[in-house]
Amino acid sequence: MRAVFDTNVVLSALVFGGRLRWLRRAWGDGRVTPIVCRETTAESLRVLAYPKFRLDDVARGLLLADYLPFSEVAALPSPWPDVAVACRDRDDAMFLHLAIVSDADFLVSGDTDRAVLSAAYRVVAPGSLRQRLEAGV
C-alpha cells in the first residue's frame, strides 16, 4: 500500500509516538510506503524546526531518518494539475496533488477540514488506514 501522509500525521508518528506509534512500524516493515516530494519534505523540515519542539539539527535528522528512507519519492509537476476541489490552504493542496500525481492508494490526514477533499481523492484518517492494514485490504 502506498500513501501520502500530511505533515501532522508524520509529526505525530515521529515526534509524539503515542497513538500513532504503530505507523512508524507500518512503514518500517513495508506494510505501507509513504510517498514524499520535495515540497512535502521541505514542509516537514520547516515544521520540525519550530521552537516548541526543541529539536536540534541532529534530532531532526534522526527523526527524518526514521521516515525518509522508507519513502518513495515523486515529483509535483509545475503548474499543479487542476482538481475538482479547491483547497483553502496551499499547504493542504500539495498533499492532495501529490496523492493524485503519484496515484497513491490514500491521502492520510487527521485534519477534519481535509475531509472535504474526499470529493477529489481517497482521504482517510490514520485510524482507518490502520484498520485497512490490519484487515489486509
pLDDT digits (tens, 9 = 90+) for 87-122: 556 667 888 889 989 999 999 987 766 555 655 578
Which pLDDT score is estimated for 22?
94
With cell 503515542, the residue in question is 18
CA distances for 4 relative to 46, 56, 58, 63, 104, angstroms:
18, 26, 25, 18, 7
Domain count, the chain: 1
Helix (H) or strand (E) holding 12: none
pLDDT digits (tens, 9 = 90+) for 16-25: 878 899 999 9
From CA 56, how far away is CA 54, in angstroms rounded? 7
Helix (H) or strand (E) holding 1: none
Q: Is 15 exposed, middle or buried, given 0-12, 13-18 or 19+ CB atoms closer than 10 A?
A: middle
User: Residue 21 is placed in which grid cell?
Assistant: 506509534
- Three-state secondary structure along 57-71? HHHHHHHHHCCHHHC
CATH number at residue 20: 3.40.50.1010
Strand 106-108 to 123-124 pairing: parallel
Which pLDDT score is estimated for 89?
61
pLDDT digits (tens, 9 = 90+) for 4-15: 999 999 999 999
- Domain range enclosing 59: 2-135
